[in-house]
Amino acid sequence: MAEGSGSSAVAFGQVVIGPPGSGKSTYCHAMRAFLARLGRSVAVVNLDPANEALPGPCALDIGELVTLPDVMASLGLGPNGGLLYCMEYLEANADWLRERLRGLRGRYLLFDCPGQVELYTHHQALRNVFAQLAKWDFRLAAVHLVDSHYCTDPGKFISVLCTSLCTMLHVELPHVNVLSKMDLIEHYGKLAFNLDYYTEVLDLSYLVDHLASDPFFRNFRRLNEKLVEVIEDYSLVSFVPLNVQDKQSMRQVMQAVDKANGYSFGDREQRSLEALMSAAVGADFHFSSTLAVQEKYVQSQDKAVEEEVMDL
């Protein structure tokens, strides 16, 4: 429960979703440590039945109810079908989840969810679980993680935008889209546009024009134009850059999520936040804004060009 919230029955938290390899478990445990330093009582809830190697402590594990290997072995299902079955089994056993969550009342919860995209775009089970949590007075925000390397490929970025939009409409929770692994973006290749173009999802017609220069995508220009029109018509998708190693970046994401789910904190946490951020002044990473990330990326690219010139 948040300090200063009106009702002792209300609990706050995040459901962390996104494709495989986007860094959901890493984010959950990094955010748990960050919020704990601010004085929040935080717990991680693992809802991924395929997650057998958790990077940190977990207060509640769906593995106590069902595991993906057991489902695959007993029902002869593959990984995708097995995950769908596990989520349907969780939905059918909502009383088990409610009973376990009673012991975590008073804590801020981070739900580490599976990495199967279908669960967030058109399958009903996990959405129904989230709706059930809302009925139990959990105020949740969906944190949708996307690997930042998709920015380096315009075709993949359009796909990510469509997936993010579909997820936002299907999950029906306050939503924060996050570009994860920003500390690695300079290793992924050169961006076609400045980073704020991707985080703010600016005029996407430039992206379509850029794709048209590729012989493969030239034949799909009209399709890309229509996809871009859908994204821009809704005007819902934007991203917050994230580097879990940097306190300023974690603070930026935390504040976006707190605004989304209505969390309010008291003076004690504010003082802890100010002390933590003042201690971060001498840190190696400074990602307090998208501009800071862009400057670091551009400097890295300029240095690489200089080294190539020197080699010549």
Q: Is 307 a member of any domain?
A: no
Give the structural domain span for 92.
Answer: 11-201+237-269
Please tell me the pTM assigned to this model: 0.82
- Give pLDDT tens digits for 31-83: 999 999 999 999 999 999 998 777 778 999 999 999 999 999 999 999 999 99
Ranking 2-11, 90-99, 207-216, 255-264 by mean pLDDT, the lowest is 2-11
Q: How far apart are CA 50 and CA 80, in angstroms?
A: 11
Confidence of residue 134 (pLDDT cuts 50, 70, 90): very high
Q: How far apart are CA 7 and CA 9, in angstroms?
A: 5
Domain count, the chain: 1
Both tokens assigned to 139: 């105020």
**The pLDDT of residue 149:** 87
CATH of the domain at 122: 3.40.50.300
Residue 89, helix vs strand vs coil: helix
Q: Is 23 a member of any domain?
A: yes
Confidence of residue 285 (pLDDT cuts 50, 70, 90): very low
Q: Is 142 a member of any domain?
A: yes
Query: Which letter, b or e, does each residue of 38-52 get, where b requires 16 or more Cβ atoms within 10 Å of its Cβ?
Result: bbbebbbbbbbbbbe
- Give pLDDT tens digits for 5-37: 444 578 999 999 999 989 999 999 999 999 999
Q: Is 180 a member of any domain?
A: yes
Q: Is the confidence at residue 284, as pLDDT, over 60?
A: no
Q: Is 290 a member of any domain?
A: no
Mean pLDDT of 294-310: 57
Q: Is 310 a member of any domain?
A: no
Q: Is 274 a member of any domain?
A: no
For residue 178, give the nearest of 146, 202, 200, 152 by alpha carbon. Answer: 146
Q: Is 62 a member of any domain?
A: yes
